[in-house]
Amino acid sequence: MKIQLAYKFTGENKEELQEILQKVIELLRDKGHETYAPIFDFSYEGKTKEEIYTGTLDKLDESDAMFVLIRGEEKSEGMLVELGYAIAKKKKIILAIKKGIESRTRYYAQIIIEFRDIPDMLNKLKKLEIR
């Protein structure tokens, strides 16, 4: 299965986010899935936000599912656009959301991982069978 990752980028610590996403990618690849995360796509360097968003949505067309990571209450407009696009395209939604966070995103997810912290999320993801 091809899985695209969606996450809040603006205002986040880029190095910390890359470290978390790299671990998610490794777990998904160990399960035999292909992954795509825009944060690691260096072809976007020097591109406008519009070009990045368009490219990300084009990549989503090639995916079977979207893994959505929500670690905080603050909303990410870009992530919500990607999620809406994935829903409209009938992609499977895998939601990893920190416990205690309210989000309507839950209504659209076929798989929900509630986690206390990142190690808890990774442990639950490791045990999860995604088809």
User: Domains of the chain: which residue ranges?
Assistant: 2-127
* pLDDT single digits (tens) 44-62: 788 888 898 899 999 999 9
Q: Which of 36, 18, 2 is nearest to 118 (CA)?
A: 18
| Confidence grade of residue 90 (pLDDT, cut at 50, 70, 90) | very high
Whole-angstrom Cα distance, residue 40 to residue 107?
29
Q: Which of 28, 27, 55, 50 is nearest to 39 (CA)?
A: 55
- Model confidence, pTM: 0.94
| Confidence grade of residue 41 (pLDDT, cut at 50, 70, 90) | confident
> Which CATH code is given to the segment(s) 2-127?
3.40.50.450
Which pLDDT belongs to residue 92?
A: 98
Q: Is the pLDDT of residue 108 over 80?
A: yes
- Which ranges constitute the DSSP H helices of the chain? 14-30, 49-61, 77-88, 118-127
Q: Is the pLDDT of residue 91 over 90?
A: yes
